[in-house]
Amino acid sequence: MPNAYSRAEKAHTTDNEGIRLQKLLAQAGFGSRRKCEEIITEGRVEVDGELVTELGTRVDPAHQQIRVDGSRVRIDGRHITLVLNKPKKVLSTMDDPKGRFTLSDIVGDKYERIFHMGRLDYDSEGLILMTNDGELSQHVMHPKYEVEKTYIATLEGKIGGNVCRRLVSQGVQLDDGLIKLDHCAIIDGSRESTIVKVVLHSGKNRIVRRIFSAIGFPVKRLVRTQIGPIKLGDLKPGTYRVLSQPEVRSLSKEVGL
């Protein structure tokens, strides 16, 4: 366990500097001010690697690293993270020389230097994360962190549970290698089509469409409903919302920040 935050170190954050630690935690979504005081006194908070248990300690989040239960507290008024529901026929880019609809037509110019974390193909729908936090984006998209992505796919034709089980246990060989699903479940089906829920870590281009096309069941409709802990929920197509601090914190924890 780290040593207690020393008086010498606290001298750098006097009563006239920084923000009180419990106030910072409350702003970051850890609960009421009183709840955040309990988190501090329980020995769950570190500042620059040192344990802090004294109430009233002031910190500078721009220059100090604060962690709760080992996870970094990310507070930066300049950073914004959005979840957007992309409709079909919208490009996963911010501009298009051909004049087609893009993500910027949905988000507008309200947020400076915002960009998308990953893509969906032109005919696919659903959840796209956007941010102006470069570090968060880099971690979310890096294969190292294997962020799970959940899709609802409507397939041409009727498939059985044995097909889903085989895609999880054995996978399918594509041009760029063997790929397995983490989870596959049939939601509904008829003689003409089948609706399946699939979960996988891969972020390769058109990966879900390529998997099912390879086994003879082309995808008629594809909707991404979740990335890591962030869910699409009831967000309407063509709209977006700002992630709450607890949501940003859970996403950051998922990708090792």
Check if 121 is active-site. yes
Q: Which of 48, 60, 121, 123 is catalytic?
A: 121
Reference 208, options 142, 163, 245, 155; nearest CA is 155
The edge-to-edge listing of strands for the beta sheet with 50-52 is: 50-52, 45-47, 66-68, 71-72
Question: What is the set of active-site residues?
Answer: 121
